[in-house]
Structure 1
Amino acid sequence: MLQQTLKGHSDQVRSVTFSPDSRLLASASNDKTVRLWDAATGALQQTLEGHSGWVYSVAFSPDSRLLASASGDKTVRLWDAATGALQQTLKGHNSGVYSVAFSPDSRLLASASGDNTTLKWPCAPVSSVAFSPDSRLLASASGDKTVRLWDVATGVLRQTLMGHRHPVWLVAFSPDSRLLASASADSTVRLWDAATGALQQTLMEHSASVSSVAFSPDSRLLASASADDTVRLWDAATGALQQTLKGHSDSVISVAFSPDSRLLASASFDKTVRLWGAATGPL
């Protein structure tokens, strides 16, 4: 059930994420800003300005104190989540940065870029990165239609997962570490065994490119965002479609569950963020 529509961005919204303490919601936009919202009330708390290009991705540190933002201006910025103050600007990529992720143990920050590097290895443009819950593996989604799994400690490529027919936009591990989900321009979501790399399910109900996937905190549900303007909810174990959430008037680009399991956020090219209730079973 739709709870709120958050308006304020002046251009397409590309990413949403909740802080681990469930208090804040961050959104990244083509308007070159990051906005911080009160997750409970929907009130705008901060507008973070400074990037000179589109902001593609946002991620909170595990302690909820820092927020990282990735931009087309080739930088990653680190902000104080409480005050909105800029803490650091990370430079080094020679192309736009599309994704950022903190390791769950708080030791590392990974960034994915169009400059074709992941852990210093050359590969096709990388659109997304995600750490496994134990911080030992890093998954990357690539424009060459593959998902790669890397050993974080050594930087060694462990596996290349093939099967998607078009670029892979985003990857996400389930909180229980058992599954890895990948969202692709081929309109499907694939669920892989995170330990072996074996394909478990191919979810095929979307009618357009799938931009984002997110697992619920209990690993039982998977949400997917698509250019067909919908969010779909799936049973992660069986692959069965549970619900289709309609309301956005343009492509849905990002989805995120709140850590307390109460809310699901979706970000869209219609310039809005929507909050859906997830407190009691199906939305």
Structure 2
Amino acid sequence: MDEEVTTESRKETEVAPALIAVHPTGHHIAVAVGPELRIFNLLNNSAVSLLDESISGENHFHKDNIRAIRFGAKGKLFVSAGDDKTLKIWSSETWHCIATVSSEKRVTAVAISKDGLHVCFADKFGLVWVVDLNQTSIDKKPKPLLSHYCSIITSLEFSPDNRFIISADRDFKIRVSNFPKNPLNGAHEIQSFCLGHTEFVSCLAFVPALESPHSLLLSGSGDSTVRLWDISSGALLDTCEVAVKAGLLESSGNAEEHGHAVTDLCATLDGLLVAVAIQRQVSCYGDTFVPTCLANSPPTRELWMVTGVSSLPGYDYPSLARVLVISGIDAEQEPVVLGDDKIPGGIKLLETLQGTAAVDDNAFLVAAEAVKAAMCNLLIKKNYPFENREYRKKTRNDRKLKE
């Protein structure tokens, strides 16, 4: 009984960071806060109405925190997934839910193949699943693709040529797997491992490589670094001490000590610039903006970012979100932070993505600390004494009971 109460109270205080995604053409902006999915259409300058009839003919949206959102490379698909153990696949043309896929564990990351034929998602137990969109049935069944052996998977990416699927985890590893022609049979061939981070890997992003036949991989981590990799060999090409470059540290440190974990990465289309979000306040939006997610809009050369959380203990706000846009993301221009009246979509967009309620600025500072604490609890691996480890092994319950 005590264990159930402890688990329930921990669940009540758990928060999830706000997420943002931009359509490849820049026509739609999506923000996820808690279980809410908010979409704005810049072409029509209006909020998008979602329709989910994928289960029993009734509206069944997410019932718990959304942990991952993603547009497909061709822009026709959008996926959302999270703590309610469901992945929803949406048509970004009609914004109808095409399918709802059930997961045995909470979903932590998603990816869509470049040809738009497969959706992959990862769970907290370290498994990656694949959904074949060629299946005619609405009730699409996921198949296991690969495993990281009990390590929480934090990020998934397909390589631009669709040859590889890259998965990163809490145990500092980045795995490059060959994506097979028939992924429903599993991805058993590993191309390389990219090893070098000393804390959890939080995010992945590709950048074009002018002198390489394929793009290069960037990774961000709780060790306050961004690293550049050749995925064909797993070779580490360069390391950037982000916190040091930003003047936050005199020497490199880990996330537990300094709290400067890299939380997201975003590269420009030409690969000349990379935006990095770290767990630190930035002065471009007063003194309270701590970005939780980044998204690039190549057609307009704008960088979109969001800060916020699903819920905040001690505050009456069901969810917090604030959107910021920087224009002129170009190596030859000086970036400019857009005021609310200059943001594409203007106040109407902000009301859709942020909500209409006025929020105390101090709440965003508290929210930033809540996100930092939640990330540490989730991703920084705890070291247990030997006797505790043995007890946990004997009492673990990680198999779902089948009725």
Q: Flag structure 1 segments of 5+ consecutive residues without an equivalent.
A: 1-10, 231-243
Q: Is the 8 Å Cα contact of residues 217 and 260 (structure 1) preserved in structure 2?
A: no
Q: 2:291 aligns with which of 249, 252, 257?
A: 252
My pick for the range that moved more, 95-104 or 246-255, is: 246-255
Distance in 1 (CA, whole Å) between partners of 2:196 and 2:261 is 15
* RMSD (Å) for aligned C-alpha atoms: 2.4
Distance 1:76 1:192, change over 3 A: same
Q: 113, 117, 125: which one pairs with 2:123?
A: 113
What TM-score, normalized by structure 2, do the two folds share? 0.59
SS of match in other structure, 1:120: strand
Q: Distance in 1 between matches of 2:43 and 2:199?
A: 37
**Compared with structure 1, are the counterparts of its residues 256 and 198 closer, same or farther at alpha carbon in structure 2 (3 Å cutoff)?**
same
8 A contact 2:226–2:242 mirrored in 1: no
* Alignment partner of 1:151 is 2:178: yes
Aligned residue number for residue 393 of structure 2:
none
Q: Which amino acid aligns with 1:174?
A: V
More helix by share: 2
Mark the runs of 5 or more structure 2 residues left unpaired by the alignment.
1-14, 52-59, 129-144, 181-186, 249-259, 309-319, 336-403
Aligned residues: percent identity? 26
| 1:122-133 equivalences in 2 (<5 Å) | 122-123=148-149, 124-133=151-160
CA contact (8 A) 1:14 1:29 kept: yes
Counterpart of 1:135 in structure 2: which amino acid?
A: N
- Would you say 1:76 and 2:87 are equivalent positions? yes
Residue 96 of structure 2 is matched in structure 1 by: 85
The Cα shift of 1:79 comes to 1.7
Q: For residue 46 of structure 1, report the CA deviation from its aligned partner.
A: 3.9
SS class of match (2:70): strand
Distance between the aligned counterparts of 1:175 and 1:255, measured in 2? 19
After TM superposition, give the deviation of residue 109 of structure 1 in Å.
Answer: 1.2
Alignment of 1:217-256 (within 5 A): 217-230=269-282, 249-256=288-295
Q: TM-score, normalised by structure 1?
A: 0.82
Superposed displacement of residue 62, structure 1 = 2.9
AA matched with 1:168: V
**Preserved CA contact (<8 Å) 1:183 1:211:** yes
AA in 1 matched with 2:98: Q
**In structure 1, what is the equivalent of residue 40 of structure 2?**
37
Question: Does the CA-based 8 Å contact 1:12-1:271 persist in structure 2?
Answer: no
Cα distance between partner residues in 2 of 1:264 and 1:212: 12
Aligned residue for 1:20?
Answer: 24
CA distance in structure 2 between the partners assigned to 1:262 and 1:212 by the alignment = 18
Q: What is the distance in 2 between the residues matched to 1:22 and 1:107?
A: 22
Residue 160 of structure 1 is matched in structure 2 by: 193
CA–CA distance in 2 between the matches of 1:189 and 1:51? 33
Structure 2 distance, partners of 1:96, 1:247, is 35
Q: Whose Rg is larger?
A: 2
> Which residue type is aligned with residue 273 of structure 2?
L
Aligned to 2:242: 205
1:195 paired with 2:195, answer no
Q: How far, CA to CA, are the matches of 1:248 and 1:148 in structure 2?
A: 38
Q: Distance in 1 between matches of 2:231 and 2:287?
A: 32
Alignment match, 2:62: 51
Q: 1:155 deviation in Å?
A: 3.6
Paired positions, count = 258
Q: 1:46 to 1:149 in 2, by over 3 A?
A: same
Structure with larger RCO (C-alpha < 8 A, sep 6+): 1
Between Structure 1 and Structure 2, the one with more strand by share is 1
